[in-house]
Amino acid sequence: MTADDVVLSAEVFEAFRTAIADGPIDFDDLYARYDHETERFEFETTETTRTGLSEAGLHEAAEEYASYITNWWFVSSVLDDRSPDRVGFVRWLEAASEHSVPARYDALASGVSRSWGELHITATIDEFGDRSYELRHEDDTNVSADSLDAHSNPLDAREIGTFDERDRYRPLRTAPSLPTGWVFSDLSAIEVCETVDTFYPATIANWYRESDGTLDIDHWRDTAERQTGIYGIIDELDEAAVNRIAASCCVDSQCLKRREWEYDAETELAADGGSGVFPCREPCSLVVAAARKWTTLEREEPQTYEFELTPSEKEQLEALIDAVADDRTDDIREADVYEGANRYRARYLREKRIDEHGNLSGTPTHPEESEE
Amino acid sequence: MQSLVIVAHGSHLNPDSSVPTHNHADTIRAVGAFDEVRTGFWKEAPSLREVLRTVEGDEIYVVPLFISEGYFTEQVIPRELRLDGWDVSEWDSDGLSASHTVLTATDIDREVHYCGPVGTHEAMTDVLVRRAESVTGDPDVGDGFGFAVVGHGTERNENSAKAIEYHADRIREMDRFDEVQALYMDEEPEVDDVTDYFESEDVVVVPLFIADGFHTQEDIPEDMGLTDDYRTGYDVPAVVDGHRIWYAGAVGTEGLTADVILERAEEAGASIGNALEAVRERTRSTGTSDSAGSNEPAMGD
Ligand code: SF4
């Protein structure tokens, strides 16, 4: 199908004619108006300009350029009354601001895909210009839909997004750990928004505000100073610690939101904010809760310890930290003793270097206390 | 367009924490009382900070799915939702009587109806009783049974004990159970000594908590002696000192809690048609609550 094959139903034409009678339509390369004095219509698209049309003439033009009319109808009927962020999102899905109506219809006929976090969203169109949407995990892009679990209720996304592929709870909905193996098909424009907003709550609203130039950002200091109760202490953390938090929690490997908050309005953090499509406008509750722990940890003074380790043992400790930090422990094969973070290797190191009190190299954590 | 926003605690550690909130939201969606039903959380997404910007309606009712008035309903929620001009005197409450107030949420520059918590509403008494029916499998349970309502003590929040007393009194006034007793986790009368407070052989124990978690699944069962180790589970009923203890788990998991959410919104001015009857019917026949005795170990928050 191409834009030329679009069919204009009697219902849509009637709605179009009635709307023009009420006032001119000026939308996405379509301009149409009715002159009440001359009782004639004007009809203009990027491809044609027709004036002095009778109703029959208008009908003929509308049929010839049906893609423009159905496009107007889609936005004014289906998206009518919806919040501007959702309208903006649905329009973004079909790259409305980048292509002319016929070019867009040609593309939609074979499917236009966008990615949103780990979601792969495809918009398609039928001969009446009605859109429908399919949504799946980006890693399933080339998988046949038949082999995926089919869903149609947007709220199913809640359960899909609660656990990762290994059945671990996902406290951060925007972590890059959505499980694969499911597909939502035949969604309406409203439903696709609902589904996306269930996988990634409030991302559409914040993305839209950003594109609109009205995103309100609460930087670290604003957020920290607002806290009360057990989180009231996190404003103790200095910029260096906050930078470490951002580097630990907010980079793309940990969270798909693009961090837009900084230490404060004047002080940018060096950590990478990421390149996600939707922004993060303030430190989230997970970061605030973790920051509380780091606040108490940062109150400790460093001490000098003396350990004896072979060079390989030192490297092994580094490898262990890396494996945990990069969530690779489950990927290290049981017999792969060449990996420092291999289980047997870790057990051997513990046997050798950690005493019965759990102290590395037999060195007490608090030397003064253990002397007592 | 009329919108309901249920706000709750949620958890970074325990996936069960938000389950009751979602279940009740689904129940209310199914009866069609609101054009949209949204949920927002302190610890999950969308956050309390951002939930209002996902709302499309212009008549917005915010109902806190919390047990008592206190830190969350009086400080955290109004602050995070950015309710302009909030002051706790808006509610003019004695700790139990917060009903609703109207304030502008500066995040969206729209008015919202901010309601009192679910746990202090009188209809919550019926949910406690329904929970007893669910856990015993007997719609007429009462005769020959004692009923214990369990909560935190005053240590953490004075109002939380008030809510426990309030519902215990109301259940007593029903004259349905042989004995009714309020019990606490961190003060006298303590839940540890549950069997000392009842003569009845059968005792239903219902914690006034919103969701199952550390307290309801680990502490209370172990404190009462239902099990030595919560991980090995316990029977419902379990025999302790010659009493049969019917331990129900968190009352907030009971499907009828959706009714209380609706009552709060209706009192704040929402027009919900016959949704209350529909919810009562629905939660009776299908029961969205967890099955009795399910006590999968879960981490608290
Ligand atoms: S604060 Fe960091 S981890 Fe939290 S949502 Fe924003 S970018 Fe993600």
Tell me the pLDDT of chain A (372 aa) as tens digits.
Answer: 888 899 999 999 999 999 999 999 999 999 999 999 999 999 999 999 999 999 999 999 999 999 999 999 999 888 887 889 999 999 999 999 999 999 999 999 999 999 999 999 999 999 999 999 999 999 999 999 999 999 999 999 999 999 999 999 999 999 999 999 999 999 999 999 999 999 999 999 999 999 999 999 999 999 999 999 999 999 999 999 999 999 999 999 999 999 999 999 999 999 999 999 999 999 999 999 999 999 999 999 999 999 999 999 999 999 999 999 999 999 999 999 999 999 999 999 999 999 999 999 899 999 877 654
Class for the domain spanning A83-211: alpha beta
Residue nearest to atom 3 of ligand 1 (CA): A250
Distance from CA of A296 to the nearest CA of B (A): 18
Q: Are strands A131-137 and A182-187 parallel, antiparallel or unpaired?
A: antiparallel
- Residue (of A99, A8, A96) closest to A46 by Cα position: A99
Calculate mean pLDDT across residues B253-281.
96
Confidence of residue B284 (pLDDT cuts 50, 70, 90): confident
Closest ligand 1 atom to Cα of A250? 2
Q: Map out the domains of chain B with their CATH numbers.
A: 2-120+255-286 (3.40.50.1400), 124-253 (3.40.50.1400)
Contact B222, B35 (CB under 8 A): no
Pocket test for ligand 1, best of A223, A258, A284 (most atoms within 8 A of CB): A284
Confidence of residue B192 (pLDDT cuts 50, 70, 90): very high
Distance CA B210, CA B157 (A): 16
Contact A204, A196 (CB under 8 A): yes
Calculate mean pLDDT across residues B139-168.
91
Cα A320–Cα A322–Cα A327 angle in degrees, nearest 5: 100
Distance of CA B129 to CAs A299, B171, B251, B253, B289, Å?
A: 49, 8, 9, 13, 13
Pocket test for ligand 1, best of A249, A256, A261, A262 (most atoms within 8 A of CB): A249
Residue B285 is predicted with a pLDDT of 54
Task: Tell me the sheet residues that pair with A133.
Answer: A123, A187
Residues of chain B in contact with residue A200, where contact means CB-CB under 8 angstroms, are 45
Residue type, position B167, single letter: H
B15, B49, B71 ranked by CB distance to A169: nearest: B15
Following DSSP, what letter does each residue of B139-194 receive, concatenated? Answer: TTTTTTEEEEEEE--TTT-HHHHHHHHHHHHHHHHHT-SSEEEEEESSSSSBGGGG
| Cα A177 to ligand 1 centre (Å) | 14
Calculate mean pLDDT across residues B169-183.
98
Say if A83-211 and A220-298 have the same CATH topology. no
Residue B301 is predicted with a pLDDT of 42
Closest ligand 1 atom to Cα of A274? 7
Classify A267 as helix, strand or coil.
coil
Distance CA A355, CA A351 (A): 8
- Residue (of A240, A222, A228) closest to A292 by Cα position: A228
Domain boundaries, chain A: 3-74, 83-211, 220-298, 311-371
| Fold adopted by A220-298 | Alpha-Beta Plaits (3.30.70)
**Residue B24 burial (10 A CB sphere; 0-12, 13-18, 19+):** buried
Distance from CA of A287 to the nearest CA of B (A): 10
Task: Tell me the sheet residues that pair with A132.
Answer: A124
Pocket test for ligand 1, best of A259, A260, A262, A275 (most atoms within 8 A of CB): A259
Contact A165, A198 (CB under 8 A): no
- Residue (of A63, A82, A57) closest to A12 by Cα position: A63
Residue B290 is predicted with a pLDDT of 44
Structure tokens at A120: 């792969």
Closest ligand 1 atom to Cα of A280? 6
Contacts of B228 (CB under 8 A, 6+ apart): B222
| Cα A247 to ligand 1 centre (Å) | 10
Task: Tell me the sheet residues that pair with A279.
Answer: A258
Residue type, position A337, single letter: V
Structure tokens at B45: 């997404």
CB within 8 Å: B12 and A286: yes
CB within 8 Å: A202 and B54: yes
Classify A275 as helix, strand or coil.
coil
Per-residue DSSP letter, B216: I
Task: Look over chain B and give the mean of its residue pLDDT values, rounded to a whole number.
Answer: 92
Return the residue matching tokens 């008592």.
Answer: B68
Q: Which stretches does DSSP call E strand in chain A? A: 25-27, 30-35, 40-44, 49-53, 112-116, 119-125, 131-137, 149-151, 182-187, 258-259, 279-280
Contact A71, A189 (CB under 8 A): no
Per-residue DSSP letter, A232: G
Contacts of A245 (CB under 8 A, 6+ apart): A237, A283, A287, A290, A291, A294
Is the pLDDT at B294 greater than 70? The verdict is no
| Cα A274 to ligand 1 centre (Å) | 10
Cα A353–Cα A355–Cα A361 angle in degrees, nearest 5: 45
Is the pLDDT at B29 greater than 80? The verdict is yes
How many residues appear in chain A? 372
- Crossing angle of helices A10-22 and A55-64, in 10° steps, is 120
Confidence of residue B297 (pLDDT cuts 50, 70, 90): very low
CB within 8 Å: B51 and A173: no
B244 at interface of A, judged by CB pairs closer than 8 A: no
Distance from CA of A96 to the nearest CA of B (A): 23
Residue A371 is predicted with a pLDDT of 55
CB within 8 Å: B12 and A289: yes
Confidence of residue B298 (pLDDT cuts 50, 70, 90): very low
Residue nearest to atom 7 of ligand 1 (CA): A250
